[in-house]
Structure 1
């Protein structure tokens, strides 16, 4: 990432971002939890992208350069935590499952920032940290390649997630054998080609659903053979159907709050 801004304190607050709006690359000296109660949040680093709908949050460790992007009308909640408080002991961005209790804790903590360091707020923060500590990690990371041939192949699929060609056929386009590419997927991205392509398709599916694209159309645009196959994969990844997520995104678009962008 180039042009990274340094923002020493990670703010605790709620803010609104219009569809497609973003927060440029920056870093904090504090840890940060970012959570979208409406819309879909994408966090990008040099190592790849993390995407989170409303039942997921993203842990961003102190010092990690990152940028935000809103898909759909976004209500963004950020919780700053001093670098001395690391309940997860994680040194890289991570997607966490958000339980109904954790969701309400995040909403309350980010909306009541005027209370300062009151005893009530300290207790709320303590419970929030306890819930973060027990929140399961979710495999919603789309790692970014670094070598030229693997980057070229990934760019092809980013441009058309529905491209169903085999690794061998894609390799002929970028000038590498399927054996070499398979090795690079494991070595650079820590997953198989099939696993990475599924992650990519889920990433694009979340974006399309946030834009109110019909489920059947999303399945087609992202390369699933049928809507039922897409629904099955989506439910296993996110714990609910794409239809329920799309309905949530549609209700978010009726929200009339002020949209703005800025540093996060």
Structure 2
């Protein structure tokens, strides 16, 4: 499948596309850690730890499958409403992942980016994120984006504020505001829109993930809890994607 230019406005998308091969960009909503732990009589923290193992498998499987961009929804802006103990467990696992995995990511050609409000995790974690991004910035085999303290509505609102500020400062004419103008201020600027979004755990909703970017994505919902997700499940989702005909609004006839 040929790749569309980065940040291509929706109006410029092709009218239709036949069955596709490998999606350029896959978004993944990782859901089910807590249910996985509860079903086994384990503490929540062990469910999240098992989820980190699934991330490791999925990054490798995505690179092996030839996926160029993988975006993982790891921690939503709404997740801060969870108990203090669970938030502490999650942020602790994040720091451990950054410390232990960055070497493997760099060695395997994976570039790491983080979108979302990283500063909310505190200066130590924000510094670790910046260091991991710097250590992997020259890699190109797989672009791994992790959404942390991320919410799509807040992202769009922030982009709208930035566009309004440009208009107020006289740097942008009101008549020049279009999808591309707003897209330049999204956290995903420079990234292709997702072709496929996968959600685990059997739930069928986006939960405030990449709402703008997912306008023409294909969706696959899998009845597997995230800690059990592996290359077989990824292949299942990719197989379903290959059977789709992407029309980009051109109709179903």
Q: Fold match, TM over 0.5?
A: no
Q: Specify the TM-score bucket, using the shorter chain as the normaliser.
A: under 0.3
Q: Which has the higher strand share?
A: 1
TM-score (norm 2): 0.22
TM-score (norm 1): 0.22
Q: Which has the higher helix share?
A: 2
Q: Which has the higher contact order (CA 8 A, sep 6+)?
A: 2
